[in-house]
Amino acid sequence: MLADILHEVFGYSAFRGQQADIVAHVASGHDALVLMPTGGGKSLCYQVPAIARHREGKGVAIVVSPLIALMHDQVGALEEVGVHAAFLNSTLSSEDAQRIEREMMAGRLVMLYVAPERVTHPRFQAQLASLHERGLLSLFAIDEAHCVSQWGHDFREDYLQLSMLHERYPDVPRVALTATADDQTRADMIERLQLQDARVFISSFDRPNIRYTLVEKDNPRQQLLRFIRREHEGDAGIVYCQSRKKVEDTAEWLSEQGIPALPYHAGLDAGVRQRHQDRFLREDGLVMVATVAFGMGIDKPDVRFVAHLDLPKNIEAYYQETGRAGRDGADAEAWLAYGLADVVNQRRMIDESPAHDDFKRVQRGKLDALLALAEAHDCRRVRLLAYFGEDSTPCGNCDNCLNPPQTWDGTEAARKLLSGIYRFWQHGQQRFGAGHLIDVLRGRLTDKVTQYGHQSLSTFGIGADLSEHQWRAVLRQLVALGHVVAEGEFNTLGLSPSARAVLKGEQAIVLKVAAEAMPRTKLARPK
Ligand code: ADP
Ligand code: ZN
């Protein structure tokens, strides 16, 4: 009985959420695609069926995982509760590898963890074929299955080969698992892993203990420091930055401010990375400043905040990264600061990448969805869950729910700004950046204005009623809404086709009043 395995082996009293259904489905020999948030309990979904099928004499379960560190932990934990498990990867000595292969070939192993590149290896394939002939291949588990999709954020070439498992061993059940997948990634996983006949299990992606806050950048370092000091003094947290240099600078700066922080990125020596990771896991109250190289497979339950100083690539990446906060179920925070430059940078990275146009189009769409989340006036959680196909009602625990942002009718301001860009083009077939545009709108006679004769434009001075800061906010939102594009080395501004309706007054624009200065309520702290 599956529940008996749960009690006897793992010492848990009951399955959680959909685990019972998934485990029964897989143990009885069917394929499954499991979408469950981080911390939801995906491992048991293949471990319990593997144990059950092994007890029925069906042999070894093969678990494909891209994370060597995680394999190590999982195997250790399984052996500790008396389940015979092992991993094969490049870190083993040849004697150890041979010993494990013998255990596998004899069908004694319950679970074997392998990296995806090993699966396609001819020697390993021969071993699988031999096991299969003798009826000793009990199931395949494919962890982090979103890695097969190039729309996702962790695409791995090796995952593409995993479809061969189904082609060669169609009667062996497969369970693919992931913590993150929007519609496109989901469709991709099903197609590429040939899971058309698999039952799809989707758990709620809500992480109710995480409070989401997205603020406009305005001296982001100071904002971060204030955020940590106000809410998270002495807490463990992760701060994500895009570049290695920024990781190092930010870690150093936080330390100088008395917040213990360590850097982590792929450019650091492997020994240093390991040391920093170990300290983060072991010590209390350390802040890890990292690129996205840090985090997959890190299981630290009491991370109290995840902060982003740069915009992630898309909502899936944002969800995955913020999901590392609050795995213990106690209150945690996801905080992100973003600005116009982030939007422009991300767009440029997509535009300049060597990928196909189709691919770029999808990436742009995903970035736009993230920007819409960032610019949203309503509940962040509702938007986030909607992105993963889930309906919900306002959460009462995100920045917008707690402090509903004031909005204003920005239609006129938007029209002024758009015509400012349009007049530059009409005047001299030229494009300019944000600073100059705002000078012209506000009627400032700078050298550049006189140099180009822009004081004679009909748009000169039409925006004197707004401050420079306010104009920047208008511009950022218009870029996020896709009406303005900022391109080229100097981020010069142009109009996109959708700007037309706004210019003609056919489309109203609702803008958000800068929210950073508003009071915040304190988080209830776990005792
Ligand atoms: P995921 O891989 O989805 O991030 P894990 O499989 O690592 O999640 O599980 C997260 C935590 O929840 C682990 O500590 C695990 O032991 C625990 N857990 C999972 N299922 C149950 C259950 N049915 N009862 C109690 N604890 C569970
Ligand atoms: Zn909310």
Ligand 1 interacting residues, C-beta cut-off 6 A:
12, 15-16, 19, 36, 38-44
DSSP state of 488: T
Nearest to 262 by CA among 273, 231, 233, 245: 273
Nearest atom (ligand 1) to Cα of 16: 23
pLDDT over 80 at 194, yes or no: yes
User: Region 467-488: what's the mean pLDDT?
Assistant: 87
Token pair in block for residue 80: 């500790």
Instruction: Tell me, in angstroms, the distance from the centre of ligand 1 to residue 44's CA.
Output: 7
d(CA 388, CA 202): 10
DSSP string, 421-461: HHHHHHHHS----HHHHHHHHTT---HHHHHHTGGGSTTTT
pLDDT tens sequence across 351-370:
888 888 888 888 888 888 89
Least confident of 327-341, 426-440, 474-488: 474-488
pLDDT over 50 at 519, yes or no: no
The confidence score (pLDDT) of residue 514 equals 62
Ligand 2 is an ion; its neighbours by CB within 5 Å are 379, 381, 395, 398, 401
Positive or negative, the Cα torsion across 169, 175, 181, 186? positive
Share of the chain above pLDDT 90, in %: 70
Positive or negative, the Cα torsion across 347, 353, 355, 357? positive
Nearest atom (ligand 1) to Cα of 42: 3
Expressed in percent and rounded to 5, the helix, strand and coil fractions of the chain are 45, 15, 40
User: Region 248-262: what's the mean pLDDT?
Assistant: 97
Q: How confident is the model at residue 152 (pLDDT cuts 50, 70, 90)?
A: low
Confirm if 210 and 326 have CB atoms less than 8 A apart: yes
User: Region 454-474: what's the mean pLDDT?
Assistant: 93
Confirm if 68 and 89 have CB atoms less than 8 A apart: yes
Residues belonging to the chain = 527
Token pair in block for residue 57: 């004499």
Nearest atom (ligand 1) to Cα of 15: 23
Confirm if 228 and 259 have CB atoms less than 8 A apart: yes
Instruction: Tell me, in angstroms, the distance from the centre of ligand 1 to residue 15's CA.
Output: 10
Tell me the ligand closest to 48's alpha carbon.
1
d(CA 141, CA 62): 6
Gyration radius (Cα) of the chain, Å:
26
Q: Which residue would you say has higher pLDDT here, 437 or 348?
A: 437
d(CA 86, CA 83): 10
pLDDT tens sequence across 222-244:
999 999 999 999 999 999 999 99
Nearest atom (ligand 1) to Cα of 14: 23
Token pair in block for residue 267: 């450019």
Confirm if 115 and 141 have CB atoms less than 8 A apart: no
pLDDT tens sequence across 1-47:
899 999 999 998 889 889 999 999 999 999 999 999 877 889 999 99
Pocket test of ligand 1: the residue of 16, 48, 201, 320 to mutate, having most ligand atoms within 8 Å of its CB, is: 16
509's CB contacts (< 8 A; 6+ apart) are: 409, 410, 411, 413, 414, 477, 478, 481, 502
User: Region 118-126: what's the mean pLDDT?
Assistant: 92
pLDDT tens sequence across 416-430:
999 999 999 999 889
Instruction: Tell me, in angstroms, the distance from the centre of ligand 1 to residue 333's CA.
Output: 21
pLDDT over 80 at 387, yes or no: yes
Confirm if 380 and 398 have CB atoms less than 8 A apart: yes
Name the residue with the closest Cα to ligand 1, atom 18: 41
* C-alpha dist (Å) from residue 466 to 374, 417, 486: 23, 11, 21
Nearest atom (ligand 1) to Cα of 13: 24
The confidence score (pLDDT) of residue 116 equals 92
User: One-letter amino acid identity for 501?
Assistant: A
d(CA 65, CA 73): 12
Q: Which residue would you say has higher pLDDT here, 70 or 139?
A: 139
Q: How confident is the model at residue 525 (pLDDT cuts 50, 70, 90)?
A: very low
pLDDT over 90 at 488, yes or no: no
Confirm if 284 and 297 have CB atoms less than 8 A apart: no
Least confident of 2-11, 303-312, 345-354: 345-354
Confirm if 177 and 143 have CB atoms less than 8 A apart: yes
User: Region 160-177: what's the mean pLDDT?
Assistant: 94
Token pair in block for residue 93: 């000595």
User: One-letter amino acid identity for 19?
Assistant: Q
The confidence score (pLDDT) of residue 62 equals 97
Q: Which residue would you say has higher pLDDT here, 141 or 17?
A: 141
The confidence score (pLDDT) of residue 397 equals 95
The confidence score (pLDDT) of residue 285 equals 94
Q: How confident is the model at residue 523 (pLDDT cuts 50, 70, 90)?
A: very low
519's CB contacts (< 8 A; 6+ apart) are: 403
DSSP state of 391: -
Tell me the ligand closest to 211's alpha carbon.
2
Instruction: Tell me, in angstroms, the distance from the centre of ligand 2 to residue 401's CA.
Output: 4
